Structure 1
Amino acid sequence: MINTTELRVVLPLVLPGIADTRDRCVARLIALLEGRPGIVQVHIVGSEGPSPELCIHYDPSTLSLSRVRELAQAAGAELSAAFGHLVISTSAAMQPRAASRIAESLRKAPGVVEADVAASGAVRIEFDRGKTSEKSLRDAAAKLGLGAEGPSAEAAEHAPGQGEHAGHGHASGGPFGERSELIFAILAGVLLASGWLIEWREVGPGWLPTALYIAAYFFGGWFTAKEAFENLRERRFAIDTLTLVAAIGAAALGKWAEGALLLFLFGIGHSLEQYAMGRARRAIEALAELAPDTATVRRDGSTQSIPVGELQLGDVVIVRPNERLPADGVVVVGTTSVNQAPVTGESVPVDKRATDDAKAALAAFDRLGPEFRVFAGTINGAGAIEVMVARRAEQSTMARVVKMVTEAQAQRSPTQQFTERFERIFVPSVLVLVAVLLFAGFVIDEPFAATFYRAMAVLVAASPCALAISVPSAVLSGVARAARGGVLIKGGGALENLGSLTSIAFDKTGTLTEGKPKLTDAVAAPGATEDELLAVALAVEEQSDHPLASAVVAGARERLADRIKPATVADVKSITGRGVSAQVDGQTVHIGKPVLFSELPDSALPAAVDEANKQLVANGRTTMVVRQGARFLGVLGVMDTPRPVAGQVMAELRQLGIERLIMISGDNQQVAEAVAKTVGLTEAQGDLMPEQKVDAIKKLRQEHGKVAMVGDGVNDAPAMANATVGIAMGAAGSDVALETADVALMADDLAQLPFAVGLSRSSSRIIKQNLWVSLGVVVMLIPATIFGLGIATAVLFHEGSTLIVVANALRLLAYKGKTPARAALDAKVAEAAR
């Protein structure tokens, strides 16, 4: 038996740009590594989470840790050089059926490993660099009607293995551009109505109504026939094929009006689908257009206007009042307030001021305070400022969000994958049923014309048009609405999972709490006063760099309000793990944990001080006892206080159907329980090391099924990786949070969470509603047409269901994101500003 050692590496560090464990490059990477001597096993950990890890078990007697890491990096580099990932965004939406057909055509192109095409125009292609190039794939996409234009292959090759920036092109749908199908459908409707009126009023020659119906066939059936023939060339039987056959059958029976009605309504349905996809796509494009095209930059002692694409790191740009910011950067001159709603969803402007050390701030941009950093696309307030550029235009937070949302559109959700599998089985089954119905004359006594009419009616009834559009329209609308509200949801899978889970786990520090300890209590001992206790503590802690010292200093200054003259302090010494000692006005002062005084001679805590300490600890405080000379002055209580909206947020989550709200924290159990009780959580688990947080998440998944984990996306990455949905707060400007999370709340604002959950809940409900409507109509119409329901009535029900599911999905674009928690916080901020 070999004794093995384990190495874990975050997957995107080995395969840049790849976080989806279903990507074929992940399987190739595992195969490459497992073939190396000394490597026993390779697998993925946290495959459903936001930060999957490559776990390598190796024999330490054969390979060193550094060598294993080198092998992993080399294998990743080899695959990145061999396989590319291209993301294209076209300028026009399309019907989901056309998107599916184009995706299949792309998969057949030489060198293409996998291809996904979203109805909104987003395209994602994985390809073998040895067999094809990016330019060839862009040309192939253009021939399929995608009309993609983007960076040249040479320019794109600088980042092998990573998704390239989206290009934009023009995809003309006919003589009237993108509106051609709608105009053709309207013309078909006008011709149909004219023919019907002439026939009803019995005016004009007898051949005129039929001629008008035939003309309606031409305009109504042009795009349907075009797509049906494309499908037949690919040997696919799709919905368009069923519709076209039914229309031809109606014409063969002399039912020109009914056939024209079918094609007219089918064309209108198609146009509405394209409108729905276009609405979702334009919502995303609107984000990309927020950043200005040019920037005023200060160079060589003068100012000049240049395209934002030419901005370099370290450039200083001038932003005048009410202008949009051209780049992510650090404020170096001036003060102002910035409307960050386009990026973070915050409805209240955020105050900004200049940093003292611009270069240091630039190097630590991810960790910089919100008062110093700004983002491209946000809107400056009344003050003129100068900003040092921290990121190039294509790497700005806004650009990355747009790119990630584009990629999310091309990823099929679990329900969408189900509906596509269902269609592949259902459509051929319908054709078989229709063929069987054509022989009904051998069973019942009726003319062949009646049998044929019934078969065509069944064809119309069984076409799952509404099913094809039901899921993608809802997913795209949900993702687009979330992005507009400052929430990045990476695809339909995360949207559906967040919409159906009932358990959410939270990290404590910085998530449920402010992340900044505050002095909450000062309990004086008998014979001492609160002012005396605070004055001594202030004098000593001002000399300390301990994280809790600043909380004590700030709290003491606020309470004392300059009432007491500062004491003289000398000989300050840190007592590791226990506290601090110093000389104050000639007397020795000790400030530290209660355990410190059990270790010092003759310093047992008096009963009153001990009782006060225990009470504070029971309430979740971190305590410090203060003694000057032989006198105990009292106990100080410090606590990382909950966010102001935390309690309201938890109440809203419960209203949304979240039954279990759990905190997992590294703090002691009493502190965890105190915070949990304050904000209204159902459970608290404290004293957890990082690996124990992972175990806690795994246990929650076993007990409750799906569970989300909310954290900062950095320290909580392992736990988030093992959750069904990882949710990162404060993701704006943070590369790690954006890359690792399934859902990223762009603002460091807990009040965005109910919006994200509520939107996902609504999306899940709408997806289910659409599935029930689309499948229900088909289930109802098939037997109804078999037993005599006419084509015209079947068409009205059939196309009516398509209109219903599309309109239902578009409701998500108008989802109201103003939760009571958000409104309450905005009101508090506005009141404070006044």
Structure 2
Amino acid sequence: MGAGHDHSAKPGASTPHAEPGGLLAGNAELIASLLCGALLGLGFAIEKLAAGAPGWIALCAYVGAYALGGWFTAREAVEKLRRRKFEIDSLMLVAAIGAASLGAWAEGALLLFLFSLGHALEHYAMGRARKAIEALAALAPTIARVRQGEDLIETPVEAVVVGDIVVVRPNERLPADGFVIKGVSSVDQAPITGESVPVDKRPVEDAASARERPNGVEAASKVFAGTINGEGAIEVEVTKLSSQSALARVVQMVSEAETQKSPTQRFTDQFERVFVPVVLITVCLLLTPGVFIDEPFSKTFYRAMAVLVAASPCALAIATPSAVLSGVARAARGGVLIKGGAPLENLGALRAIAFDKTGTLTEGRPRITDVVVTGAGGEEELLQVAVAVEQLSDHPLAAAIARDGRERLGGGAIAQAQDLKSLTGRGVTARLNGQGVWIGKAEMFGVEGLAPLDAPTAEAISELRDKGRTTMVVRLGDRDLGVIGLLDTPRPGAKPALAQLRALGVTRMIMISGDHKKVADAVAAEVGLDEAWGDLMPEDKVEAIRKLSAQDKVAMVGDGVNDAPAMASATVGVAMGAAGSDVALEAADVALMADDLARLPFVVGLSRKTRWIVRQNLFVSLGVVALLVPATILGLGIGPAVAVHEGSTLLVVINALRLLAYREAPSRAAVA
């Protein structure tokens, strides 16, 4: 075991918490802070209780407190000054040095003690959010059992290559992404997809076909690294290297999400850049009253240092990052990948969502319901031609025609078509036995040199569409052979998911589909949507999203492949079933790792909760500064100012960490 390193953890190494000595430094800072407090208490006790003791003993205790409390603060301040940043740490040091120059060693030591304690506890609390992300990286085992003939060789996961057969025993974690070739089991996919119920897995029907098109493997045979096998032993053919697995990509993308700032965070960063110099100018002005009024400089300087402490925006600096990091971590644990603070905040502000139909609101497994022969040939000729062409395509409708068509033909030999070409959004064309074949929507005929449909075919299409069927015309040469009617079943969870979204405050939900308007209307009515836009080509979907975006923020929910252009045009692009699709992971701002629409209300609710907590944190952080600054000008001391100031910093972090325990979507009233 010692030879195998956790390869999937490497992407997580880029997280801020994973820097060399990060955890040790965090503990050292906390220990130093507590020792600073102990020396502060010792010095105060000597000064107040041992009146006859030499003054230098208490002074030594305070100096020691300064050294322990100021070390990490000074180190961070120097590092930032090297990068030409004068920030909160620097302000605290100036205040502490100023207190010492006045002989107020006890109050300066108190300032450094509370600031360093707050800093250490803040790092500890933020570390908890980062650990929720890093825990993902530890899911995959370090060793895989690779089958070589009759032998099983224990191999480091990093050394497993595409095409290897790995054996997974009951109750073990899967070491790699792939598809099942032997054995039946149920797999707990919650670590990757967030699904609460184990998913039944079975071997692929055709290993050679799965090897050729691994992205087309059915969910019932596809498995992911880091998931947990159930009671049955299975054998898995590996389709991705450990560094390219869904788990590794999720860890990497969530880690990168930390660096992508939300609109609120960008605003607070800009605010700080202006606010810190304003604070310094204000402090300098507060040092001048002694020129005009009879006041000791020590009193003037002390008041200026108290204002410096009160105005330092510590809580503001951490208010948004802590909430965003906690929200992203909680989403990842629930099987949803959010790529940064911007999509997290935007998703929480949505009032409109557009849905693709096939594979999003429907199961994405259409079936043949009708075969209407309109030409001189029979049903067998129609199906033979359709299967020969569609078996070359990986479109869901093509797969349904190939699968169900073979079954209707009784499994006989199928001719081989050639020269398949996709006519985007309309259908396909190919050659079979020297003749041209066209299969697709009725709208592809009668344009671009193709003859119009004959009357019986047009009539059959109209009747099938009235019944809510998706229709595909089959033409061989110059003959219309007939029409195939298909039906894609709406997802059982679509209707309740849409109802939950309404309860969360999403007021407008639209289905956009390339299918005929009547088919789109039928599906929309079944799942409970008010609007359905049909007959849309891919470029029309992009235009539809742009039109919606001009009215309000809008999300586009699709499969991440055909819908990638529309998702890119939306305020937030959301991909379904992204665990099995590299394209979906890249194309979407938000990726629902499971093929489960119920994850959408979860993440919308979480995003709304995150926005609410960000607002609370900003209110607390700015409110404390607004109260403390005038209070210190009017005479509040450094000690109470530091206590309230650092208390507010811890309060906003603890408030943000509540997101890690998020369970249910909040009520509409809570997020309005």
Whether TM exceeds 0.5 here: the answer is yes
CA distance in 1, matches of 2:74, 2:327: 32
Question: Alignment partner for residue 183 of structure 1, among 21, 31, 35?
Answer: 31
Counterpart CA distance in 1 for 2:161 and 2:527 is: 45
One-letter amino acid of the structure 2 residue matched with residue 259 of structure 1: G
Following TM superposition, by how much is the alpha carbon of 1:178 offset from its aligned partner in structure 2, in angstroms?
3.3
> Does structure 2 conserve the Cα–Cα contact (< 8 Å) formed by 1:727 and 1:745?
yes
CA RMSD, Structure 1 to Structure 2 (Å): 3.8
Aligned match for 2:41, one of 179, 190, 193: 193
Deviation (angstroms), 1:376: 0.9
Q: How many Å apart are 1:90 and its aligned residue?
A: 7.9
Matched, 1:669 2:525: no
CA separation of 1:797 and 1:600: change in aligned 2, threshold 3 A: closer
Q: Show CA shifts across 1:191-250 (max 9, x none).
A: 333444555555772635444333222211111122223334444321111111111222
Distance 2:223 2:11 in 1: 27
Distance (whole Å) between structure 2 residues aligned to residue 622 and residue 309 of structure 1: 46
TM normalised by structure 2 equals 0.81
Aligned-pair CA distance for 1:689: 1.2
SS in structure 1 at match of 2:487: strand
Aligned AA for 2:298? A
Match of 1:726 in 2: 573
The alignment partner of 1:732 has SS state of: helix
**1:725 alignment partner AA:** V
Task: Label 1:89 to 1:267 Cα distance change in 2 as closer, same or farther (>3 A).
Answer: farther
Q: Using the TM superposition, give the Cα deviation of residue 676 of structure 1 relative to its aligned residue in structure 2, in angstroms.
A: 2.0
Q: CA deviation at 1:301?
A: 3.7
d(CA) in 2 for partners of 1:449 and 1:550?
Answer: 85
1:757 maps onto 2:604 in alignment: yes
Task: Give the match's secondary structure for 1:514.
Answer: coil
Q: CA deviation at 1:361?
A: 0.5
- Structure 2 residues without counterparts, runs of 5 or longer: 1-8, 372-377, 391-396, 413-425, 427-440, 443-451, 473-482, 668-672
1:434 partnered with 2:283: yes
Aligned to 2:155: 306
Partner of 1:102 in structure 2?
Answer: none
- In structure 1, the residue matched to 2:506 is 658
User: Distance in 2 between the 1:243 and 1:604 partners?
Assistant: 81
The reply on whether 1:701 has 2:557 as its aligned counterpart is no
Query: Residue 707 of structure 1: CA displacement?
Result: 1.1
The farther-off stretch of 763-772 and 366-375 is 763-772
Q: In 1, are the aligned partners of 2:125 and 2:657 still within 8 Å (CA)?
A: yes
Residues 354, 418 of structure 1: alpha-carbon distance in 2 compared, 3 angstrom cutoff: same
1:690 to 2:501 alignment: no
Q: Secondary structure at the match of 1:515?
A: coil
Where does residue 619 of structure 2 map in the other structure? 772
Letter of the 1:458 counterpart: V
* CA–CA separation in structure 2 for the residues paired with 1:548 and 1:731: 21
The alignment status of 1:377 with 2:233, answered yes or no, reads: no
Question: Residues 519 and 552 of structure 1 are in contact (CA less than 8 Å); yes or no, is this contact kept in structure 2?
Answer: no
Of 325, 343, 357, the match for 1:494: 343
Preserved CA contact (<8 Å) 1:182 1:271: yes
After superposition, the C-alpha distances for 1:586-624 in whole angstroms (9 at most, x for unaligned) are xxxxxx99xx999359x999xxxx9xx97x856745589
Q: Say whether residues 1:787 and 2:637 are aligned partners.
A: no
Q: Secondary structure at the match of 1:759?
A: helix
SS of alignment partner, residue 270 of structure 2 = helix
Aligned to 2:360: 511
Query: How many residue pairs are counted as aligned between the two chains?
Result: 600
1:506, 1:512 within 8 Å by CA — same for their partners in 2? yes
**Structure 2 counterpart of 1:711, one-letter code:** G
Q: Which residue identity is paired with 1:795?
A: V
1:262 alignment partner in structure 2:
111
Of 240, 244, 247, the residue aligned with 2:93 is 244
Aligned pairs (5 A) from 1:255-654: 255-517=104-366, 545=387, 599=455, 620-621=468-469, 639-654=487-502
Residues 272, 806 of structure 1: 8 Å contact kept: no
Asked whether the equivalents of residues 325 and 378 of structure 1 are also in contact (C-alpha less than 8 Å), the reply is yes
Query: Structure 1: how far apart are the matches of 2:648 and 2:248?
Result: 37
Q: Which runs of 5+ in 1 are unaligned?
A: 1-86, 92-116, 122-145, 147-169, 523-535, 558-565, 570-576, 578-591, 625-634, 821-834
Deviation for aligned residue 1:716: 0.5
Alpha-carbon separation, structure 2, partners of 1:604 and 1:458: 83
In the alignment, the residues of structure 2 paired with residue 414 and residue 456 of structure 1 have an alpha-carbon distance, to the nearest angstrom, of 32
**Secondary structure of 2:578 counterpart:** coil
Separation of aligned partners in 2, 1:815 and 1:542: 54
CA distance in 1, matches of 2:298, 2:326: 45
Comparing 196-205 with 378-387, which one deviates more in the overlay?
196-205
* Aligned residue type for 2:266: Q
Looking at structure 1, the residues matched to 204 and 399 of structure 2 have their Cα atoms a distance apart, in angstroms, of 24
Q: Any idea what SS the aligned residue of 2:509 has?
A: strand
Assess, with a 3 A threshold, how the Cα gap between structure 1 residues 403 and 548 changes in structure 2: closer, same or farther. closer
- Which of the pair is proportionally richer in helix? 2
SS of the residue 2:488 aligns to? strand
The match for 1:799 is: 646
Task: Rate the CA distance shift 1:796–1:752 in 2: closer, same or farther, 3 A.
Answer: same
Given that 1:239 and 1:463 are in contact with CA atoms closer than 8 Å, whether structure 2 keeps it comes out as yes
**Pairing partner for 1:742 from 565, 589, 600:** 589
Contact 2:11 2:251 in 1 (8 A): no
SS for the counterpart of 2:155 is strand
Note the C-alpha offset of 1:413. 2.5
- Are 2:191 and 2:335, in contact at CA under 8 Å, matched by a contact in 1? yes
Q: 1:382 to 1:517 in 2, by over 3 A?
A: same
Letter in 2 for 1:226: R
Q: 8 Å contact 1:120–1:280 — kept in the other structure? A: no
Deviations 1:402-456 (A, max 9, x none): 1122222222333222222222222122111111110012344322121111100
- The 5 Å alignment of 1:3-402 reads 119-121=16-18, 146=19, 170-171=20-21, 177-197=25-45, 199=47, 201=49, 205=53, 207=55, 208-402=57-251
SS at match of 2:579: coil
Distance 1:235 1:686 in 2: 56
Identical positions, percent: 60
Give SS of 1:214's match. helix
> Taking structure 1 as reference, are residues 447 and 818 closer, same or farther at Cα in structure 2, changes over 3 Å only?
closer
1:662 is displaced (CA, Å) by: 1.2
Moved more, 248-257 or 447-456: 248-257
Partner of 1:43: none
CA-CA distance at 1:718 after TM superposition:
1.0
1:336-395 CA distance string (max 9 Å, x none): 111111111111111111123323212211111011111111111111111111111111
* Partner SS for 1:338: strand
SS for the counterpart of 2:120 is helix
**Contact in 1 for aligned 2:26/2:124 (Cα 8 Å):** no
**Are 1:332 and 1:354, in contact at CA under 8 Å, matched by a contact in 2?**
yes
Describe the shift of the 1:540–1:432 C-alpha distance in structure 2 as closer, same or farther (beyond 3 A). closer
TM, length-normalised to structure 1: 0.66
What amino acid maps onto 1:383 in structure 2?
G
Give distance in 2, aligned partners of 1:502 and 1:444: 58
